Each structure stands twice: as structure tokens, then as C-alpha cells.
């Protein structure tokens, strides 16, 4: 007996329930795979969030430590600048000029530190992209 005689002719669909069984099989497979997929996505999200939080903590610690050290040095440098400028202008004006310059530099530094702590950098981008791809794949499988 040849192999061709055992196969149904091309173009003829078998209506004995094979499509229902395969659809049911796909649904069962989907029911088993979706919980595993969700738990894997949650694990990925947790890992990404942990990494983002660790980065934010390091940025905050560096920002705070840098600010404290700079404050100590800045006080000494500002006093020196006031004394030097007081030789040219009135002492009160020297203190005002140096104070405004110090405030401007401090403001720029704080803005730079805040930039590293923006909430948009804490979003789990890879997980969101992966979930979107999984959603598309599930929709293609179901339809």
C-alpha cells in the first residue's frame, strides 16, 4: 500500500471534527501557557523595577553626598571670593554678587540631579514591550 493512497486528496477538508479538536487543543495549550507567560512577565517586571530602584538609590546617594561635600568646600571658596571682591567693591555688594553666583550654580546642579530621578526612567520598558508582543501573538493565535 502506498503512502499516497492513505492520504486524503488535496483540497478536500476533513469534517470529522479534527478542526474542533485542534481548536480545542489550541485553547487548552493557551490556557496552560498564559499563566506561565504572565508569571514570567511579572518576574521580568520585578527585575526591571529592582534595577531601576537601585539606580535611583545610587543617583540619590551620589547627589546627596556630592551636595554635602560641595557645601563645605563652597563655603570656604565663597568666603575667599567675597574677601577678594571686597577689595574692589563694597563688602555687602561683594557678598551679594558671590551669593547670587553660588545660588545659580547650585540650582543648575539640583536640576541635573532631578533629571536622573525622573519617573519615566523607572518604567519597565522591556516588560511593557514584551507584554505588547505577547498580546499580539495571542490575538494572532486565537483568530
**Residue that is written with C-alpha cell 514591550 in the block:** 129
What is the separation, in whole angstroms, between the first and last Cα of the chain?
39
Half-sphere exposure of 131 (CA within 13 A, CB side): 14
pLDDT reported for residue 104: 93
Pick 74 or 3 by higher pLDDT: 74
Going by pLDDT thresholds of 50, 70 and 90, the confidence category of residue 121 is: low
| All three cell numbers of 46 | 520585578
What gap in Å lies between CA 143 and CA 91, rounded to an integer? Answer: 80
Going by pLDDT thresholds of 50, 70 and 90, the confidence category of residue 14 is: very low
**Radius of gyration of the chain measured on its C-alpha atoms:** 33
98, 82 in Cβ contact below 8 A?
Answer: yes
Going by pLDDT thresholds of 50, 70 and 90, the confidence category of residue 120 is: low
Torsion of CA 117, 118, 122, 127, to 10 degrees: -150
Cβ contacts of residue 51 below 8 Å, gap of 6+? Answer: none
**Residue 127: closest CA among 46, 33, 34:** 46
Expressed in percent and rounded to 5, the helix, strand and coil fractions of the chain are: 85, 0, 15
pLDDT of 11 higher than 60? no
Percent of the chain with pLDDT over 90: 29
For the stretch 36-91, pLDDT in tens is: 888 888 888 888 888 888 888 999 999 999 989 988 987 998 999 999 999 999 99
Amino acid at each position: 500500500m502506498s503512502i499516497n493512497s492513505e492520504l486524503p486528496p488535496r483540497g478536500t477538508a476533513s469534517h470529522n471534527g479534527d478542526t474542533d479538536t485542534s481548536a480545542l487543543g489550541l485553547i487548552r495549550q493557551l490556557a496552560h501557557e498564559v499563566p506561565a507567560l504572565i508569571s514570567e512577565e511579572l518576574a521580568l517586571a520585578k527585575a526591571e523595577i529592582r534595577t531601576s530602584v537601585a539606580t535611583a538609590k545610587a543617583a540619590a546617594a551620589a547627589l546627596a553626598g556630592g551636595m554635602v561635600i560641595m557645601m563645605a568646600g563652597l563655603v570656604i571658596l565663597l568666603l575667599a571670593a567675597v574677601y577678594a571682591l571686597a577689595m574692589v567693591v563694597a563688602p555687602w555688594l561683594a557678598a551679594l554678587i558671590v551669593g547670587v553666583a553660588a545660588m545659580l550654580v547650585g540650582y543648575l546642579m539640583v536640576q541635573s540631579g532631578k533629571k536622573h530621578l525622573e519617573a519615566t526612567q523607572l518604567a519597565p520598558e522591556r516588560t511593557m514591550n514584551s507584554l505588547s508582543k505577547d498580546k499580539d501573538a495571542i490575538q494572532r493565535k486565537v483568530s
